[in-house]
Amino acid sequence: MTKTQPNVAELLKEYLDADIPAGTLEKLKEIVTWETFEANDIIYREHEDSVRLFLVHSGQVDIQYLMPNARRETVDTCVKGDFLVWSALIKPYKTNSIGICRAKSELLAFDGAKLRALCDSDHHFGYLMMRHIAGVVRRRLQAARAEIVDLRD
């Protein structure tokens, strides 16, 4: 039996917490794919080209940094509604962390170049996306700060 995937347009409205025009939603539906990862799958590694922006629909994805001692440290865990690989929208379009699934996860994967083009052509939508990306960056900085404090104690 094939699992029915949720309506992408409705999910985007929910996750972005915004009224997105139908035309923009149609364009988004054309550049998104569904991806399923198993527990312990690595979605991306540090210093790779950021070709896709991910939105977690289900599961959990750990954001890790590779430390100088070659150990990976988890600084954040993304859950339903969280974005991964924000660097797909920000130059130089390179990843700066590792994304590894803590549990089986379903993600919406947006083509980074096409998403950037949509943000450039639809400034209202671009603002909504960047507002969410700024929130992601803020949360990651807070997590990194907490990690630094823990290391000093």
The pTM for the full model equals: 0.88
pLDDT at 2 over 50: no
Model pLDDT, residue 93: 97
Domain membership flag for residue 1: no
Domain membership flag for residue 88: yes
Domain membership flag for residue 112: yes
Residue carrying the six token digits 């988890």? 74
Give the rounded percent of residues in the chain with a pLDDT score beyond 90. 58
| Per-residue 3-state assignment (H helix, E strand, C coil) for the chain | CCCCCCCHHHHHHHHHCCCCCHHHHHHHHHCEEEEEECCCCEEECCCCECCEEEEEEECCEEEEEECCCCCEEEEEEECCCCEECHHHCCCCCECCCEEEECCCEEEEEEEHHHHHHHHHHCHHHHHHHHHHHHHHHHHHHHHHHHHHHHHHC
Model pLDDT, residue 10: 80
pLDDT single digits (tens) 52-92: 999 999 999 999 988 888 888 888 899 999 999 999 999 99
* CATH number reported for the structural domain that contains residue 131 in this entry: 2.60.120.10
Burial class (CB in 10 A: 0-12, 13-18, 19+), 31: middle
Domain membership flag for residue 67: yes
Collect all residues with Cβ–Cβ distance below 8 Å to 28 and sequence separation of at least 6. 8, 9, 12, 20, 110, 118
> What domain range includes position 52?
8-152
pLDDT single digits (tens) 5-15: 667 778 877 88
Domain membership flag for residue 77: yes
For the chain, how many structural domains are there in total?
1
pLDDT at 135 over 70: yes
Domain membership flag for residue 120: yes
Per the prediction, the chain carries an average pLDDT of 89
Which comes out higher in pLDDT, residue 18 or 71?
71
Model pLDDT, residue 56: 95
